[in-house]
Structure 1
Amino acid sequence: MTTTTGTLPEKFSVLEPWAEDWALATRTERYEKRLSKTIDELGEFYDAIAPHAEEAIAYLDTFDVKDLPEPETRLMHLLYSMIMVSYPVNIFKQPRIPDSGAAFFNAAVEPAI
């Protein structure tokens, strides 16, 4: 598992308890983490991060995405994980996509920034 190191930006330190588990650098890692959690655990994470998402996005928009400092990169990864769990929490009500059987989505490459 590839996590970023360091802490979150000071103004988002309230989210630090979630960063070690969820500030994951790749989509594959975020998806695997999602599948390893119960829907209640996903809900707790989502409910903790979502109220801060707009402010965090506005904050990150003040930086060049190609030159983010480590704390800001960690915050961005945390937001990516929140997005990864948003559909399971708000729509599916379970970690996996409903009615998908044994199907599994695996990205070959990460999108370019």
Structure 2
Amino acid sequence: MSDSTLPQPFSDLESFVSDWALPTRAQRYEARLSKPFDELVAFYDAVAPRAEDAIAYLNGLDIDDLPDDATRLLHLLYSMILVSYAVNVFKQNRIPDSGAAFFEMVAEPAV
């Protein structure tokens, strides 16, 4: 693997890859629950302003044949979306007033 794990235009987001470029929703949700809230905010604040550019970049590729670096970028976007609820709506990692309730996802997105 090269030094860069993301497409070059998004190399400024490299520091988030190991924690947030996770392949499954369950892994992303576990990361959201296990990290301090300020880390969620820092991740969201770094990725959200780049989201439109990342989407435009990914739209230029064949979704069925993404290179590894683009797949990691897509996973970062998935994590940013999941974290956005915690940061912008709930203002905490967990869904308020949900107690021990947990929703188990039975299917993942195709990519």
TM-score over 0.5 for the pair: yes
- Percent of paired sites with the same residue: 66
Moved over 2 A (4+): none
Query: Gapped runs of 5+ residues in structure 2?
Result: none
Structure 2: how far apart are the matches of 1:69 and 1:60? 10
Q: 2:24 is matched with which residue: 23, 26, 42?
A: 26
> Residues 3-61 of structure 1: CA distance to partner in whole angstroms, max 9, x if unpaired?
xxx61001100000011111000001000000001221110110011111100000000
Aligned to 1:66: 64
What TM-score do you get using the length of structure 1 for normalisation? 0.91
> Residues 68-96 of structure 1: CA distance to partner in whole angstroms, max 9, x if unpaired?
00100010001100001001000000101
| Alignment root-mean-square deviation, CA | 1.1
Structure 1: how far apart are the matches of 2:26 and 2:93? 14
Q: Does 1:85 align with 2:83?
A: yes
Query: Gapped runs of 5+ residues in structure 1?
Result: 1-5
Paired residues, what number?
Answer: 108
- Map 1:1-113 → 2, pairs under 5 A: 7-113=5-111
